[in-house]
Amino acid sequence: MLRNLFLGLGGLAAVAALSTPADAAGPSVEEFYKGKRMRVIISTSPGGGYDLYARFISRHMRKFIPGNPKMIAQNMPGAGHRIAARYMSVKAARDGSVIGTLSQGLPFAQIVWPEKHKKIDMSKFVWIGNSNEGNNVLMLWHTTGIKTWEDLRKKEIIVGGTGAASTSVQYPRALNNILGTKLKVLIGFKGGSQMNLAMERGEIDGRGSNAWASIKSITPQYMEKKQLILPIQMGLKRAPDLPNVPLIWELGRNEAETKVLKLMVMASRIGRPVLTTPGVPADRVAALRAAFDAAVTSKEFNAEAKKRRLEINPVSGVEVQQVVNQILSTPASVAKLARAAVTKGKVFKCLDLVKNKKMCRTKKKKKKSKKSS
């Protein structure tokens, strides 16, 4: 269920902190949006999960925005979602007429490579909401012969990714550096549909990360024909329909490894986000967030989502903003670990990375309790 719909003081305070005050002499929200053509910036190519959810939610949102503006979608792929992020941060209008979707992995990328985010501060964006909180999976084609995640240590597997700021690159690199898998990541794909096609052609063995919900809605035939192997899932808890697939952070052998891997999967809370540019007036932010909340709880939206097999598990904009800020406030010591985890070719040498050596101690496996006869 959707939570925290901005009726509390905390939500209003968050809006005020992230936006400029409404100009008393300016137009009302309805006057501003009436007849407006809003742009929806999508950071991937057409056909993938980000594209599908962004177009779907924006089409329904417009019905609940005062003035009922039109929505014009524009795909802006490249640089692992950073081209769209840079555009929305620097060039796009800051008046509430531009919304968009960006990779859930960008806040994590910011703490890992702050030098690449001087013009893209994810805390400055105004987060409108997430239409689906759900797990990602390491997605491999059935011809790889992989059975379990341990097999990834024995055989080189080629997976596709968009860019270093995306989870499709971050997760396989972390698996390599921390757990010693042999995943070779080919970077440069512009979206999920392109990677799927390459996988079907045998050009790659799979995808470094894909939303489990997207597989079920966009390419359900993969599961129906038993064409996929899903050795690992990424989220805070196991998906109900993937009870036997281990979570990436469950594979951590000590406190340091587990802490980094858990930090990475916080991105699942950001999910398929809708956000707007920095500096949007508070009254328009409130209207956009209210429109998102109304859309994802409407009967029409959920009926169409069910028909299209789209999973909907919404998170309010205030909550998404809190998660983003929580990731960005990661202590420097943990950010150092995270950088080592996702930097190409690095080895995650715990004793070289932390001051508290206790964090490197291997976890003791819990003994199964014997039932008394």
**235 neighbors 245 (Cβ within 8 angstroms):** no
Annotated domain spans of the chain: 9-133+267-328, 136-265
Give the helix/strand (H/E) hosting 179.
helix 167-179
Separation of CA 372 from chain center: 46
pLDDT digits (tens, 9 = 90+) for 41-58: 999 999 999 999 999 999
pTM of the model: 0.86
CA count, 13 A, side-chain hemisphere, 362: 3
What is the C-alpha to C-alpha distance for residues 170 and 266, in angstroms, rounded to an integer? Answer: 13
Q: What is the CA radius of gyration of the chain?
A: 21
**284 neighbors 67 (Cβ within 8 angstroms):** no
Domain 9-133+267-328 identical in fold to domain 136-265? yes
pLDDT digits (tens, 9 = 90+) for 77-112: 998 899 999 999 999 999 999 999 999 999 999 999
Q: Which backbone phi and psi does 277 adopt, to 5 degrees?
A: -75, 160
The answer, yes or no, to whether residue 189 has pLDDT greater than 60, is yes
Helix (H, G, I), strand (E, B) or coil at 227: coil
- Right CATH for 136-265 from 2.40.10.10, 3.90.25.10, 3.40.190.150, 3.40.190.10: 3.40.190.10
pLDDT digits (tens, 9 = 90+) for 321-359: 999 999 999 999 999 999 999 999 888 999 999 999 999
What is the C-alpha to C-alpha distance for residues 32 and 22, in angstroms, rounded to an integer? Answer: 12
What pairs with residue 132 in β-bridges? 313
Percent of the chain with pLDDT over 90: 85
What is the C-alpha to C-alpha distance for residues 127 and 214, in angstroms, rounded to an integer? Answer: 21
Burial of 148 (0-12, 13-18, 19+ CB in 10 A): exposed
A 10 A CB-CB count for 369 gives 6
What pairs with residue 42 in β-bridges? 75, 101
Question: 9-133+267-328 has which fold?
Answer: D-Maltodextrin-Binding Protein; domain 2 (3.40.190)
